[in-house]
Amino acid sequence: MTKPRRYGLSKSRLTMFEQCPKRLWLAVHRPEEGELGEGAEAGFAMGHAVGAAACALHPGGVMIEAEPNLAAALAETRRLIDEGHPGPLFEATFEHDGVLVRVDVMSRDDDARWHVAEVKSSTRAKDYHLGDLATQVWVIEKTGIALASAAIRHVDTSFVLQREGDYAGLFADADLLAHARKVARGRPALVAAAKAVLEGEEPVVAMGDHCSAPFDCEFAGYCARDLPPGPEWPVTVLPNGGGKKWAAKGVADLLDLAEQDLSAKNARILAATRSGEPYHDRGGARAAIAQWPFPRAWLDFETIAPALPLWVGTRPYQQVPFQFSLHLEAADGTITHHAFLLTDGTDPRRPCAEALARVIPAEAAVIAYNAPFERSVLRNLARDVPELAEAMLSIEARTVDLLPVTRDTWYHRDQRGSWSIKAVLPTIAADLGYDGLEVKDGGNAQAAFLEAIDPATSPQRRWALDEALLAYCERDTWAMVAVARKLMGEG
Ligand code: SF4
């Protein structure tokens, strides 16, 4: 008979406790205060898809459902193990000392020894996975089952999809049983400490680096409410860790610094922030942009990089372009717009490469914002579509970058230390913002694409998603044109 668990500790709750005692306390006593960050839902969906793929590689495995409750899952696990079920078992459930664990995959070898695997969508075992695994090993072995291995089953990036939906070979195991057993020795003390925290009042913990490592804490908004209001222009707006260095020395307000103590770029940020007047080097911008011959092809890709490769010949997390927008500017200022988008679920690489080769003139300068990304997409297309390799590599060789030009010649204090196109655009052309669009950023675009290629999506919805994606990507390249014109003093 299972003892009632007062607080329902689990491996993920112990991981929370190790990150911050207050996080665990809030998760149990004030869960309604948590707010999931941007991308959290997509991360959960990817984790579920990867977990399902790992289970599908074990035909004949038994899923242990938590129905009608976890006590039933505990009893079913015990029954299957006691009756000598050959496994594998999915979500096998164990409890010890008030800590409940559910094991992703538990399999028995020919010598009747048990192996457990914790499935992760990451590309290697990470330090913070060890705590999860140690909790599992501790609980399982305390129930009397000696393990032969305990692995982090992660995605192997050398895998290449050979047949649609066939993920045999996608995973690699890092067996960490010996390490996990060592860490598990500290579990009784950790569990006792976690229980003591849960029985007490809300712990007092100051916010710090631990709030985002190893995970973004969902209670950051709640905890920040207790902080005194900070300066309007915190020193942390200085980019590339520059602000953090000053913060570590006790400086909170950017305006407390002096220009002569800063690098040239940071001094410009300070001066523009102090005066409210943007820094603008029109001459520098004109000189840089004048080197880009006409016609100018302003290019932006949208890509998807799924953990589970979708198309034959692709690897996990490979960036695959499903869309581009291109504004083609002639020497007389005439601009035409071209777009590519494929949402029928088929491999978009070849049609994307063909469309690029068709619409980008052989002599055009190709302009991107943060060009290393566009260049890498073009190199991958050259590799994956060999017949068009020459054309793709030619486009790549002609790709120049508007971002460093912007960084060197423009700063408005409302950018708050960022030169991303979405930070710069409102300071240059407020009417070109993304607020009125259904798809507002790259994460939205990826979610819209995945919804559009889902066979369950209706044609009407797919059409609406296509429209939203086209509007978003077009805005991105038109934004580049607008930024360049403003930099040159033409806007
Ligand atoms: S925001 Fe930071 S201090 Fe607050 S609960 Fe989370 S980790 Fe702890």
pLDDT digits (tens, 9 = 90+) for 400-438: 999 999 999 999 999 999 999 999 999 998 888 788 889
Tokens of 291: 């080197």
What pLDDT score was predicted for residue 6? Answer: 60
* pLDDT tens, position by position, 428-464: 988 887 888 899 888 899 999 999 999 999 999 999 9
Domain that holds residue 177: 9-199
- Which of 151, 182, 199 delimits the end of a domain? 199
Residues 248 and 370 in one domain: no
Centroid of ligand 1 to alpha carbon of 214 (angstroms) = 12
* pLDDT tens, position by position, 127-141: 999 999 999 999 999
Query: Is 230 part of a structural domain of the chain?
Result: no
Query: Is 365 part of a structural domain of the chain?
Result: yes
Residues 58 and 184 in one domain: yes
Residues 167 and 190 in one domain: yes
Over residues 54-75, mean pLDDT: 91
Centroid of ligand 1 to alpha carbon of 252 (angstroms) = 20
Count Cβ neighbours within 10 Å for each residue of 21-40 and write b for 16 or more, e otherwise: bbbbbbbbeeeeeeeeeeee
Name the pLDDT band for 292 (thresholds 50, 70, 90).
Answer: very high
- In this structure, which residue's CA is closest to atom 1 in ligand 1? 220
16 pocket-lining for ligand 1 (C-beta < 6 Å): no
Residues 409 and 285 in one domain: yes
Residues 287 and 154 in one domain: no
- Which of 250, 277, 304 delimits the end of a domain? 277
41 pLDDT higher than 80: no
Centroid of ligand 1 to alpha carbon of 219 (angstroms) = 6
Query: Is 227 part of a structural domain of the chain?
Result: no
26 pocket-lining for ligand 1 (C-beta < 6 Å): yes
Over residues 269-291, mean pLDDT: 97
- In this structure, which residue's CA is closest to atom 4 in ligand 1? 223
Residues 121 and 191 in one domain: yes
What pLDDT score was predicted for residue 227? Answer: 84
* pLDDT tens, position by position, 226-265: 888 889 999 999 999 889 999 989 999 999 999 999 999 9
- In this structure, which residue's CA is closest to atom 3 in ligand 1? 207
* CATH number for the domain that contains residue 431: 3.30.420
Centroid of ligand 1 to alpha carbon of 331 (angstroms) = 55
Centroid of ligand 1 to alpha carbon of 229 (angstroms) = 17
| Rounded distance between C-alpha atoms, residue 470 and residue 452, angstroms | 13
Angle at 78 between CA 60 and CA 145, to 5 degrees: 95
| Rounded distance between C-alpha atoms, residue 21 and residue 13, angstroms | 10
Residues 439 and 335 in one domain: yes
From the CB of residue 257, how many other CB atoms can be counted at a distance below 10 Å?
20
